[in-house]
Each structure stands twice: as C-alpha cells, then as structure tokens.
C-alpha cells in the first residue's frame, strides 16, 4: 500500500465537530478518495484479516498496526492532534490515558444477524464510514434514536462511554 502523508488523506475540516445526536459527534476525517483507495487495498489483502474476535461475533478484523506500523502511528497522531482537543471540549470530564491501535472490521451479509444490542468496552468509540454502497449494516443507537445510514462518507464519529451508548447493527 502506498501510505500517504496525513496531509494527503486527512480531510480539511478534521476536528470540527457536529453534534448529530445526544452524546454522538461527527467530524470529517479521511477524504472520500482515500477511503476508496483504502477499501481497494484492503480488498486485495484478505489474508490480513482475522476472524478470532474477543467479542464472539464472526466479523473479520484487521489491526492497522498489522497493515503498517507507520500508518497506525500516524492515524493515532492525527486523532490526538486534530480530534482530541474538540473531543475534550464536548466531553470535558473524559480522562483519556491512551487508546488501542485502530482497526478495520469487515462485516459480511451473515455476520450481524445474531448480534444483539450491546455496547463497546471503551469510554469513547470511534468509527469512520469508509463506504456507503451496501445494504443493511446500519449502526443504530437506540437511546439517541440515531442511525449512521445518513452520515456522509468519510466522517468519523464519536459515541460517548459504554454506559450511555448502546448499539445494534441492522441487517
């Protein structure tokens, strides 16, 4: 993969947050062109994905660190530099000591059929919408009455802590 410098793939307004629902904020993150190139690269490297997930669901995951350590570190730096100041503004009591390496999750048509309402184990969950040419797979936040289906492509969104945000995937 031709890893680009962050100035080439980070959206211009990265870090400018919009509240899309209670406790859920979005910001532009990667450019749409980069999202498309990234999907093409990931599709060409299926061997990098693994299906042994600690959460018990059958989706395939890929830790960015396994794709490229430099890329993983750069993405973490961009999140810290561009997103963390705004995140701390909207969640002032948030105590972030660090975060796990970003990873990709690929859901197949049958992967989420048995997925029940659940929450992530992190204080803040981040998700980048890489594409929108799929059916189903909506990420729903019932308490906030929010569905990510209409979130624009390339947007990163943050959902507040595990106690307040429950999610469900629709098939």
Examine the pLDDT at 81 and tell me if it is beyond 50: yes
Examine the pLDDT at 163 and tell me if it is beyond 50: no
pLDDT (0 to 100) of residue 54: 57
Examine the pLDDT at 126 and tell me if it is beyond 60: yes
Percent of the chain with pLDDT over 70: 71
Dihedral through CA 70, CA 77, CA 141, CA 88, nearest 10? Answer: 170
* Angle at the Cα of 70 from the Cα atoms of 44 and 90, rounded to 5 degrees: 100
Q: What domains can you pick out in the chain, each with its CATH number?
A: 6-170 (2.60.120.620)
pTM for this one?
A: 0.78
Q: Name the least confident of 7-11, 20-24, 118-122, 148-152.
A: 118-122
What are the beta bridge partners of residue 156?
27, 128
Q: CB–CB of 121/166 below 8 Å? A: no
The contacts of residue 74 (CB under 8 Å, 6+ apart) are: 3, 5, 6
pLDDT (0 to 100) of residue 58: 63
Examine the pLDDT at 162 and tell me if it is beyond 50: no
The tokens describing 163, both together, are 């106690």
Examine the pLDDT at 145 and tell me if it is beyond 60: yes
Dihedral through CA 131, CA 153, CA 11, CA 140, nearest 10? Answer: -100
């Amino acid at each position: 993969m031709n890893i680009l410098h962050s100035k080439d793939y980070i959206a211009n307004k990265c870090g400018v947050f919009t509240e899309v629902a209670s406790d859920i904020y979005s910001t532009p993150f990667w450019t749409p062109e980069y999202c498309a190139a990234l999907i093409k690269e990931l599709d060409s490297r299926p061997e990098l994905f693994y299906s042994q997930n600690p959460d018990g669901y059958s989706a395939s995951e890929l830790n960015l660190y396994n794709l490229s350590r430099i890329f993983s570190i750069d993405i973490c730096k961009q999140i810290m530099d561009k997103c963390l100041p705004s995140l701390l503004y909207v969640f002032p009591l948030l105590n972030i000591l660090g975060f796990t390496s970003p990873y990709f999750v690929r859901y197949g048509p049958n992967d989420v059929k048995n997925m029940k309402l659940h929450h992530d184990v992190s204080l803040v969950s981040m998700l980048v919408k890489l594409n929108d040419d799929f059916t189903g797979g909506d990420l729903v936040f019932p308490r906030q009455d929010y569905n990510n289906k209409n979130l624009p492509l390339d947007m990163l969104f943050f959902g507040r802590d595990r106690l307040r945000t429950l999610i469900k995937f629709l098939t």
